Structure 1
């Protein structure tokens, strides 16, 4: 019997948050990655086509579809199934199997299980806005509600989240979680730098090179267009 598959909305969600990379890159923990977050058998210098990326994603997803099918003991509608596949694709099958989310779900507590998704917004014990957005999107999909609003979700728009990121000409360098998020996106795009949350010369140079690659004005300033091209939603103008 064929394994149940993720639906179109779940696939759309994964592709939005993973982004497509046709050249292999090392993620923030040094794992070689390509396509929409595929890691199996990936090596330095590897390149693929978008068609190959689709095939790799489909093959990769089959493992998570099977895991959700085999571990969940209650009925799931298509959106609930898709949300759990998307979640496990990001955090791993092992995390799903050991989660309170799965325990509550198998007890038939669907709403409580959905709310558990919001707890998985950390990497290395630190919460990240990108993960918070992804978890909110997955929760909305699980509850069969529109999820795309979560792409721009921000917990209380602060001056830090709306400022222009650039190399300071004098005085103290620009610092913050928004800078760290920018650096992590640049690392994911193949650049070598530290995600230390400080906008120094190395970050400015990486931004400029990325802008050159993408045909954007290459000024080293991470404006809204540059952030959007990196997959970072910003209210900056």
Structure 2
């Protein structure tokens, strides 16, 4: 079964736009769980433009499904945040400072030493480690060499080319997924997955462990409502 983790960054963006606490990210996270989500994902950035570091502490107290903290470990502040909150999973993402959103995976070969040390530190604390990578077999194998438990495939290129040629769009992701299975890595996927393209990806890679979806799901919720939207995404994953 491919599990659905809901990224609630966009909820925090909306809250921060007015400076108050509406919508409340903790309440939304609990509602997502109540509506069927099997995980909650947050991606705090150094400027705290959406998820704030305090949100992570607040969410840790109440989230009962899988808690996944994403982020760039370039600053010790992020590493300490993860260690202090002991999520089920940390996803290491090489997003640049000031980037609107993540736009590339790790070069796990160039950054092997740094990743190896970080992964060992998180695993010693009992935290599963996923490394965000492009659909490149070498990067997948490199993540394994660094000691990762999983990789998360960066799926924006798949989403971008999906309507032009579905089979061609998914082909490199299937190869990367097969490489992950071959070397014994768990497999996640995320970025620009939506009701349009999710089912085809999951059918093409049925051993996919988890998808993390935020922007499209929250946008869909404006029209369909949050509860109904989560159920719709679960149906795309054949969970009903």
Q: Same fold (TM over 0.5)?
A: no
**Higher gyration radius (CA):** 1
Q: Which has the higher contact order (CA 8 A, sep 6+)?
A: 2
Greater helix share, 1 or 2?
1
TM range (shorter): under 0.3
Greater strand share, 1 or 2?
2
